[in-house]
Amino acid sequence: MSTALPVPSRRLNAVLREEKTLGGVGDPLKLVPAVAMLGGTAIYLLAHVAFRLRNVHTLSRQRLVCALVLVALIPVALELPALATLGVLAALLSALIAFEALRFSEARERIRHQLVDEPHGD
C-alpha cells in the first residue's frame, strides 16, 4: 500500500473544503464536498496509520478510530450546515491532537533527551 498519495492531496482537500464551505455556510454540503472534507481527512489519517504500521509495526488506534468516525459522519454532513460540519471536523481533530499530546508526552520527552544526550558524529 502506498502512503505517498494522501500527502499531496492534503492541499487539494483544503482548497475543496474552503471553497465549498465558504460558499454557503448555512447550507448543508452536497455529497462530493462532504466526502472531500470528511473522507479526505479520514484518508489522510489512515495514511498515517499505514505508514506507522509499515515502519514501526504498531497500530495508531486513536487515528484509526477518528478516521472511522469521520467516514461515519459523512451522512450527517449532508444534513448539517457546512460551517457546523467544519466545526465538527475541527473539534475531532483538535481532540485527537490533545489526546496524543497528553498520552504520548512522556515518550516524546524521553526521545528528546536521548537525542540531546547522544554524541554527534562530526
Asked, for residue 86, whether it belongs to a domain, the answer is yes
Number of folded domains in the chain? 1
Asked, for residue 20, whether it belongs to a domain, the answer is yes
Q: What is the 3-state secondary structure (H, E, C) of the chain?
A: CCCCCHHHHHHHHHHHHHHHHHHCCCCECCHHHHHHHHHHHHHHHHHHHHHHHHHHCCCCHHHHHHHHHHHHCHHHHCCCEHHHHHHHHHHHHHHHHHHHHHHCHHHHHHHHHHHHHCCCCC
Looking at residue 72, what is its pLDDT? 97
Q: Tens of pLDDT along the chain (122 residues)?
A: 445 555 556 655 665 666 555 567 788 999 999 999 999 999 999 999 999 999 989 999 999 999 999 999 999 999 999 999 999 999 999 999 999 888 877 866 777 777 666 666 55
Asked, for residue 122, whether it belongs to a domain, the answer is no
| pTM of structure | 0.71
Which domain does 41 fall in, by range?
Answer: 6-117
